[in-house]
Amino acid sequence: MKIFWKYFFPPLYGLLVYFTIRLLTDSITEMKFWYRPLSLNGIEMATAALMGYLLIGIFNWLFRYFDKKNEAGFSYKIILKELLYVFIVNQLVQNMVLTPMVVLTDDGLQLFDLVDINVIPLLYCFIYYGVRRSNAFLQAYINNRLQLEKITNDQLQTELKFLRAQYHPHFLFNALNTIYFQMDIDVEAAKKTVERFSELLRYQLYDQQQMVSVVNEIQYLQNFIELQKVRSSRRLQLDVHFDEALHNEQVYPLLFLPLVENAFKYAGGDFNIHICMKKQDDEISFRVENSIPDKLSFEAKGGIGLDNLKRRLELLYPGKHSFTAQVKENSFLAELKLAT
């Protein structure tokens, strides 16, 4: 195919322009150019073929120049500029070659000859430009989209890492504080807490961009709950239920943790915490409700650490999750549903 475009297409292009002009001119003058001497027609066709080589060669050089100069992409201003260059080159070459040819043959240069020379080749020129450059435009568009997607993805990955990192300082502080006080009371219990704490940290060191089995997530939450029970008030009434129907469903890790952590952090009043995870059709439903000491003071605190979770859900489960959080009369209820 490259051989065709390099060696055969240029003379065909020149001859196409030549015969089109000839046919239009003869239709006006009623002259039949094929009745002219064969040598004269041969000279004109050979000249037209050479003109095709010259013109296509210059166009190809211009296209390489355009590609090198416009590596960043294309815009309508760039395309208009390219068309201007192509227009100038076409008019110069066509008039340098075809105008003298018409002047020296037949009855000389007429007005309709001049119009044909400047209009017909220009139409073919723009068609050729559109065909040849469309591939470059398409490739530039694809490259721009890929670059934009890469930049967007990098930004989202950075944001996700930042959002995940925000959970750790509060979690580490609470866990270490619990272990510190346990060591003065029960060293063996403190050792068990350290073991549980190490398991939690090991889980958090995994690649958080990869999905995990919901069973692993449940095990993590159970360890976290056990750790929180150590430092919670004896008055705490804890009700935890994990559906046994949950097995190999895949989820992104540490999305349920903020709701559990939030419940232990703000539990008050009757000190009730209800945690329930179950499977509903093609969804995982996670429900956490905790009693609060005072509705007005709880609402005034605002923020309650859930904005972080909402943003992560938007990034990881776009259009595939639902999350609601509401303050009731004596409790705070949060419910998260994830498509599996």
Structure confidence by residue, pLDDT tens digits, 155-194: 666 555 555 555 555 666 767 777 777 777 777 877 887 8
Query: 184 versus 247: which is more confidently predicted?
Result: 247
pTM exceeding the 0.85 threshold for the entire prediction: no
* Residue 15, number of CB atoms within 10 A of its CB: 17
Average pLDDT over residues 115-134: 87
Listed residue (259, 253, 265, 278) closest to 200, CA to CA: 253
* Residue 236, number of CB atoms within 10 A of its CB: 16
Average pLDDT over residues 77-98: 87
- Mean pLDDT over the full length of the chain: 81
Query: 261 versus 106: which is more confidently predicted?
Result: 261
Band (307; pLDDT cuts 50, 70, 90): confident
User: What does the alpha-carbon distance between residue 249 and residue 242 come to, in Å, rounded to a whole number?
Assistant: 13
pLDDT at residue 160 in the model: 58
Structure confidence by residue, pLDDT tens digits, 214-237: 999 999 899 889 888 877 777 889
